[in-house]
Structure 1
Amino acid sequence: MLRTGLAIAALVGFAAAQTVTLQAESATLSGVTVASSVAGFTGTGYVEGFDESADKITFTYNATESKLYDLSLLYNGPYGDKYTYVVLNSAGGSQVSLPSTTTWTTVSAGQVLLAAGANTIEIQNNWGWYLIDAITLTPSAARGPHKITTTPVNKNANADAKALLSYLGSIYGKSILSGQQDQASLDWVTQNVGKTPAILGVDLMDYTESRISRGASSIDVDHAIAHAKKGGIVTFVWHWGSPVGLYETTAQPWWSGFYTVATDFDIADTLAEPTGANYTLLIKDIDTIAVQLKKLQDAGVPVLWRPLHEAEGAWFWWGAKGPEACKQLWHILYERLTTHHKLNNLIWVWNSVSPAWYPGDSVVDIVSADTYAEGDHGPISATYNNLLSLTNDSKIIAATEVGSIMDPAQLKAYQADWVYFCVWSGDYISAGKWNSLEFVKKVYADEYVLTLDEVQGWKG
């Protein structure tokens, strides 16, 4: 036992010795300054003043060999929840969450693939107003096989849903499915790239009363059925317009009613009164979209179902009152659709990263995140690794909305095993700013990326 203990201690000591700490005050500073008034920092000071978009810290590190490193940030966040952006060698990086804190805290910033020789790591402003003390670099441990489950959380899931989750599990870590939000944008990819995305992303937004009564309409369910008949996979988001309380002003028109700032609807108060009128309207909306999901079930279409998306951002009303109200709503939605309406074609996709918001393994099939970084085709490894930790690698992970597509080579190098990506619609795919046509063609031609023609027969 003594020898074993000594061996373990030696390994721990070896790992610790491999960790390199780089102090922010010794880096190259752009628009930021060194300070020392907030006690508890390491080194001789810390860096503050992230208040302009171009503000950044640039660390330089000379690596003896090309290797993947775990990157951590030591920061203080006295001004609320923030985000920073990490860029390696001026190309490719990750958005990193910096939760509010008044103590010096270490947070994972994903991984960086350092080249032999000089490397730069930039900490860019993003949401700003935080303090940076240092970064650490530790050689990444080899990742073992995934431990994900492919059994749907709904015990009554139908054969279609089981087949879909099983298929996703079979390609997880081996390939990534291409996806595109909106039928018109998917058609643009087909016409301009010469290949069709495997996944079509559509929306149940315009199927509820608060929007239909104001003139909205949609044929997204029809698009989904048509794509499925071609052998494709579909995913639905739901920009849930507030059931009541829309401001309907010039600044906040009715069609923006899913935003927190566009309604006085209070989800916490509504859930506290299950016999109240607002709760009745809430359930009515769920029942209304159940009709559309039933059409998909009857057509043999399993759905990657992503309601209550981006909740922790609080910009949508379902996240505006914090995690407890949102998690309660998720459970109500799950129970109403699966038990009451017997919808067994749904794969439940959760869409927030913070552990405080997670509704639980028993009601989630897939975990996911939405990330937007203009022109950056990095692997989004910090977010991926946070989702990996969220469920201890028990759930498949998806990039359910992206602005810029991830470079397949970087995905493989960083072991960022997103099972699919779905590019947002319009200018995100077609304007050339977020993704050049040349790069999109390169992605769709990569053998790691699966397109519609390559997923035929996935149900079997």
Structure 2
Amino acid sequence: MYGPLAFALLLASSAVAQSTTYQAESATLNGVTVGTSVSGFTGTGYVEGFDADADTLTFTVNSTAAQLYDLNIIYNGPNGDKYTYVVLNSAGGSQVSLPATTNWTTVSGGQVLLNAGSNTIQIQSSWGWYLIDAITLAPAAERGAHNITTTPINKNANADAKALLKYLGSIYGKNILSGQQDQDSLDWVTNNVNKTPAVLGVDLMDYTQSRIDRGASSTDVDKAIAFAQKGGIVTFVWHWGAPTGLYDTTDHPWYSGFYSDATDFNIETALADTTNANYTLLMNDIDQIAVQLKKLQTAGVPVIWRPLHEAEGAWFWWGAKGAAPAKKLWGILYDRLTNQHGLNNLIWEWNSVKSDWYPGNDLVDLVSADTYAENDHGPISATYNSLLTLANDTKIIGAAEIGSVMDPAQLQAYQADWVYFVVWSGDYISGGSWNSLDLLKSVYTSDYVLTLDEIQGWKG
């Protein structure tokens, strides 16, 4: 899962017109300074020094009417991949990816719904260490009908998988499915919100050999089957502990073995040929997980299947060596589970945003992202729009992990048509700081948000 990523944006003074540019050096600066040493900027300079959490760049924009605008950010990223956080009118923001670059580059910052009159947009430091030249605003065009496919990539997909993908397509852009990670946290929602999420998120983590050898066990497959029998939809992630090379130290205990800094397992060398020992260990793990997925298939349970999640973040070993090994492993995983093990109940969900990491439309059924911003209930429109572009609007889009639930009214206003959300477990749902109980009750009773009782019979 991602750690909480903050980003916010408040816009420079002047009235909004078609494709209007707002120079960063003319905005209100807090903890940051104007620079001129990196050539190629527009205006009289750019803003640098985003090196503390409290650093912000605030613009003020006057709009003659309430309207949705496309926001672009012109930046330079000489210090590696970063994220920034954009907040409109001090409430509801978007996480924006700023890929590494030494050129002045324009990236989509999602959309902002400006009120009539004065508005603020704030760029908050988040990961920091980037340069901001300017932002642009242009009235957003009305989004047309989606061009998504509901035909599974697996030509042998069974009736259950076909029904699930068809159902997701039928509600896409009309409703969002509520979801919760972990059975205990889902039960907390049922008992405290008086509504049961439509989607249960569970994990194949403790079915992996390197964890079983150290005493781990799980009943998540049984829980998934039981939830499906109640008419629910299930999604599985796989926190895949490295098959060997775990450090198993105080700082990096064995149970953190899916993290890149907790193992010396090298995915690139493991996939270099099919005869080395580490390649064999990877295949053994896949075969072991296939046994569990086969139990779900036998029980008539289709699965939104999300392996190799958050690959582009590189904090997990499967993404630590870059896009090429991660995509290669995805292809191997698909081929082995589908063609060797005959698993036809899986809806294959990719879980990264960057285009150079994408395995391709022929190997992906759904696209998704994981985003965490504490007590920010905005529509996450920048990430949604990036995923829309990633698959050219041919794939349904899911919010596979979130920290704070999204405001249904903002989802609709921003045309952020996430088909489902899954709130992460524990304090993210029940602690009160990420989501208040009153807010959860409001979200779960919205006509736009579907709960378990409202999706009965979705198989048709």
TM class by shorter chain equals over 0.9
Match of 1:7 in 2: none
2:294 — aligned with what? 294
**CA contact 2:17–2:138 (8 Å) conserved in 1:** no
CA distance in 2, matches of 1:86, 1:197: 29
State the Cα distance separating 1:273 from its structure 2 match. 2.3
Shift in CA distance, 194/17, structure 1 to aligned 2, threshold 3 Å: closer
Residue of structure 1 in register with 2:13 after alignment: none
CA deviation map 1:385-439 (0-9, x unaligned): 0000011100000000000011000000000000000000000000001000110
In structure 2, the partner of 1:155 is 155
Shift of residue 141, structure 1, vs aligned partner: 0.7
SS in 1 for 2:223: helix
The residue number in structure 2 matching 1:179 is: 179
1:4 alignment counterpart: none
Aligned to 1:114: 114
Secondary structure of the residue aligned to 1:224 is: helix
Query: Paired residue for 1:379?
Result: 379
- Mapped partners of 2:164, 2:148: distance in 1: 14
Q: How far, CA to CA, are the matches of 2:17 and 2:238 in structure 1?
A: 49
Deviations 1:25-50 (A, max 9, x none): 11111000111111111111111000
Equivalent residue, structure 2, for 1:91: 91
SS at match of 1:18: coil
Distance 1:450 1:150 in 2: 20
Amino acid of the structure 2 residue aligned with 1:146: H
1:394 matched residue in structure 2: 394
Structure 2: distance between partners of 1:203 and 1:35: 47
Opposite residue 243 of structure 2, the aligned amino acid is P
Alpha-carbon distance between aligned partners in 2 of 1:144 and 1:157, rounded to the nearest angstrom: 29
Determine the C-alpha separation between the residues in 1 that align with 2:208 and 2:382: 36
Structure 1 residue 69 and structure 2 residue 69: aligned? Answer: yes
Query: What is the identity, as a one-letter code, of the residue corresponding to 1:169?
Result: G
Partner residue of 1:220? 220
When you count helix as a share of all residues, which structure comes out higher? 1
| 1:12-51 matches, cutoff 5 A | 18-51=18-51
Distance 2:68 2:324 in 1: 37
Counterpart CA distance in 1 for 2:87 and 2:331 is 38
* Count of aligned positions: 445
Report sequence identity in percent: 76
1:330 is matched with 330
2:424 & 2:242 partners in 1: Cα distance?
Answer: 22
Q: Secondary structure of the residue that 2:271 maps to in structure 1? A: helix
Which position in structure 1 is the counterpart of 2:243? 243
Secondary structure, counterpart of 2:71 in structure 1: strand
Query: Structure 1 counterpart of 2:311, which letter?
Result: A
Residue number in structure 1 paired with 2:321: 321
Residue 440 of structure 2 is aligned to residue 408 of structure 1:
no
Check if 1:361 corresponds to 2:361.
Answer: yes
Cα distance in 1 for residues equivalent to 2:136 and 2:18: 10
Name the amino acid aligned to 1:314: A
Question: How far apart, in 1, do the equivalents of 2:389 and 2:51 lie?
Answer: 31
Q: Is the 8 A contact 2:200 2:224 kept in 1?
A: yes
Alignment partner of 1:306 is 2:306? yes
Cα distance per residue 1:66-95 (max 9 Å; x no partner):
000000001111111111000000000101
Aligned residues of 2:204 and 2:238 also touching (Cα < 8 A):
yes
The whole-number CA distance in structure 2 between the counterparts of 1:443 and 1:274 is 49
Measured in 2, the distance between the counterparts of 1:430 and 1:267 equals 36
SS at match of 2:190: helix
**Which residue in the other structure is 1:8 paired with?**
none
Q: TM-score, normalised by structure 1?
A: 0.96
> In the alignment, what sits opposite 1:145?
145
Distance 2:212 2:35 in 1: 55
1:20, distance to aligned residue in structure 2 (A): 1.0
Aligned AA (2:285): D
Q: 1:206 matched to which residue of 2?
A: 206
1:207 Cα offset (Å): 0.3
Are 2:101 and 1:105 equivalent residues in the alignment? no
Give the TM-score, by structure 2 length.
0.96
Q: For 1:162-209, what per-residue CA distance to the aligned partner results, in whole angstroms no more than 9, with x for missing partners?
A: 000000000000000000000000000000000000000000000011
Cα-to-partner distance string for 1:111-167 (whole Å, 9 max, x where unaligned)? 000000000000000000011011000000111000000000000000000000000
Aligned to 1:261: 261
Change (3 A) 1:38 1:444: same
Q: Matched residue of 1:272: which SS?
A: coil
Q: CA deviation at 1:19?
A: 1.1
> SS state of the match for residue 61, structure 2?
strand
Letter in 2 for 1:180: Q
Letter in 1 for 2:82: K
The one-letter code sitting in structure 1 at the alignment partner of 2:67 is K
Give the AA of the match of 1:218: S
Letter in 1 for 2:44: T
Return the alpha-carbon distance in structure 1 between the equivalents of residues 252 and 48 of structure 2.
Answer: 35
Deviations along 1:289-322, one digit per CA (max 9) or x if unpaired, are 0000000000000000000000000000000000
SS of 2:441's partner is helix
Q: Which residue of 1 aligns with 2:343?
A: 343
CA distances 1:205-232 after superposition (whole Å, capped 9, x unpaired): 0001100010000000000000000000
Distance in 2, matches of 1:26 and 1:355, equals 33
Aligned counterparts of 2:151 and 2:383: Cα–Cα separation in 1: 24
RMSD (Å) for aligned C-alpha atoms: 0.8
**How many angstroms does 1:17 deviate by?**
6.4
SS of 1:22's equivalent in the other structure is strand
Q: CA deviation at 1:456?
A: 0.2
- Output the CA distance in 2 between the equivalents of 1:411 and 1:270: 42
Aligned-partner SS, 1:143? coil
Q: Distance in 2 between matches of 1:50 and 1:155?
A: 49
